[in-house]
Structure 1
């Protein structure tokens, strides 16, 4: 999907500045830009720092992938007056490539706030997700809330596309704020995502918002409310497998912990089997479903199958860079092993978690590790557990350990 969508004129004289401007305007990291250009992060770094001249042909081909095109403009002529382009294409010419014979100009769209642009808001949602994965929610929470205020101010005069994008941004912002340790704000943002999606009849994002709220209420040990949101999401028409599977997993998890009458372990197990039966999920979604399934299987007393499900979750994500999901699955598996008094297995899982946790900046992961440390405290004198606890403590800052 191409998207170029900005409201301020940009002019620069070399390719490195142009690439940096593209990242700034789209809200992309170097990793995000590299992924979209089909190059490595190192390629982007070298060009941005002026260490590489990739040639105009290569640049033209790469940038076409993200909806930008190279245009050479003779130096010294009057600037081209702003005009509309298909998909608001931003034109630029690489002065560094053309020996300074050409300037670089981005010709933007209208004059409203950037938060009034649906594509821009959607890019901010993607940026929030990427940055949470890279930095954790804490460092970006304040910025995301500022962006949310700007988007909210633009909504009264915005149309359906803006509200759809705002729903997606609110959902991603909720994850950021939850990771930053502010579950109350996260719930409000998730509720906003649900309201906006419902208002524009976007059933897919409406279901995704229900899934998020179900997850948040499960984390807060409110299974009845979690089950309610999961059931509402599953009743929506034409929900994709990528959203249906987590909803089924959350409902199975919630029912195993719920006080509602009529909810049985067999129904909880059936929902988990349905969730794991979706075979076309992306790796991270599949791993997440298997991880939640492990918790449900533990709740219904099937610990060995729970460990297998956790193992499947970690195996799926093993080829990928360390993620919050890997740490979450290892922490949950360690907790189940401790509850089942499988101390040797718990120690091994805690040691694995100690290797992964330092690679991830996340308040959510930190809280998971602290929980494992707390739950393992009663076996602190067992040699293997003692060693695993020491490794886990070394993976955290002294402030986090003291919590």
Structure 2
């Protein structure tokens, strides 16, 4: 059986069906993706054609075990379905799934095509964005851009129908998350205009949802984007706005993250004193965050010392302190496992630090590995970092440099 590409599962229709355990829609999408007839689909799932026909028309109710069995046979990622893998016997999840299947079975008879908004609507939209985020680490940004933008437009249309409902603010927050992800995807494509547009939309939606923490997160993300785009002054001004948004007593996780971005911005403008002070304050905030029960949403994972070490390494590269930069990178990589694209970005920074120290062969080796990541993952952001490394490289001519240049030119062509 031909494998379906990962981006298929992040499309707005399929992702919504996964979130709602809408197996008829998933089956029809898989059938079309493979170019199968209904009989070929029936053969793949191991049931009769008449039975499959009833399922596709919403006339055949399904048990949890049947959905799990069919999903495994046609390659549906079980972790994207609400009920989870075998052994997950949470009765609440099973009731939710049973309700979803029952409603789906009546789709052709009783369900309206545009159902009323309820307490599950925002969670469903957030789960779609979450599925797209999980695919981002292994999927070229250009393949995720259209689904990400479609999800923003989809959430906006739902909000238009629900603007006066008691769930409107939750949907606005979900729209903010979708727009933030669309911004991130376009940033990875080096489409700076679109990235700024979606970051602004994410900020506006978070403010309209009256969610100061989410708004501060999106403003901080835009600040980090501006600093990464060699506009540190704008980034530092945005960080000041994020702090005003979040208030005088921000959660320790948010405080540590914003301070780390500030340290990077100050290092980029060569204010060493301010950059080092921000790092010290971030270290104190990380220690405070370790005493908290859990990071506040939208920070899903703790901002710990490993993540701070990664920022410290970036700061030291910009302050031209290569020995400290390499040590900080080693510290961050010992306890953290960044995704492939982020690892590619980090390798270019380590390469710059090694070149500063005169370790030119090591620098070119790391930059070559980053080039492999950029081409394999289709990340223009990583490729841009590799080109920046080459532009600033000051080492002598060598066989390794000629080989690197040949690879880089071949990639650009």
Measured at CA, do residues 167 and 21 of structure 1 come closer, stay the same or move farther in structure 2, by a change above 3 Å? farther
Aligned partners of 2:100 and 2:122: how far apart in 1? 16
Alignment of 1:131-280 (within 5 A): 131-156=135-160, 157-158=162-163, 159-235=168-244, 236-237=246-247, 239-258=250-269, 264-277=271-284, 278-279=286-287, 280=290
How far residue 360 of structure 1 moved from its aligned partner, in angstroms, is 3.3
Alignment of 1:104-123 (within 5 A): 105=105, 111-112=113-114, 117-123=121-127
Aligned partners of 1:225 and 1:276: how far apart in 2? 24
Equivalent residues of 1:294, 1:306 under 8 A apart? yes
Measured at CA, do residues 194 and 371 of structure 1 come closer, stay the same or move farther in structure 2, by a change above 3 Å? same
Partner residue of 1:343?
A: 360
Measured at CA, do residues 126 and 18 of structure 1 come closer, stay the same or move farther in structure 2, by a change above 3 Å? same
Task: Tell me how many residue pairs correspond in the alignment.
Answer: 338
How far residue 268 of structure 1 moved from its aligned partner, in angstroms, is 1.3
Partner residue of 1:80?
A: none
Asked if residue 62 in structure 1 is aligned to residue 88 in structure 2, the reply is yes
Asked if residue 306 in structure 1 is aligned to residue 337 in structure 2, the reply is no
Aligned partners of 1:198 and 1:34: how far apart in 2? 31
How far residue 380 of structure 1 moved from its aligned partner, in angstroms, is 6.5
How far residue 339 of structure 1 moved from its aligned partner, in angstroms, is 4.3
Aligned partners of 2:405 and 2:302: how far apart in 1? 30
- Secondary structure at 1:134's aligned position in 2? coil
Aligned partners of 1:138 and 1:380: how far apart in 2? 36
Asked if residue 333 in structure 1 is aligned to residue 350 in structure 2, the reply is yes
Partner residue of 1:296?
A: 315
Equivalent residues of 2:203, 2:219 under 8 A apart? yes
Aligned partners of 2:82 and 2:335: how far apart in 1? 21
TM norm structure 1: 0.69
| Structure 1: runs of 5+ lacking an equivalent | 40-57, 70-85, 94-103
TM norm structure 2: 0.68
How far residue 226 of structure 1 moved from its aligned partner, in angstroms, is 0.4
Measured at CA, do residues 5 and 209 of structure 1 come closer, stay the same or move farther in structure 2, by a change above 3 Å? farther
Asked if residue 129 in structure 1 is aligned to residue 138 in structure 2, the reply is no
- Secondary structure at 1:68's aligned position in 2? helix
The structure richer in helix per residue is 2
How far residue 253 of structure 1 moved from its aligned partner, in angstroms, is 1.4
When the two chains are superposed, the root-mean-square deviation of aligned CA atoms in Å is: 4.1
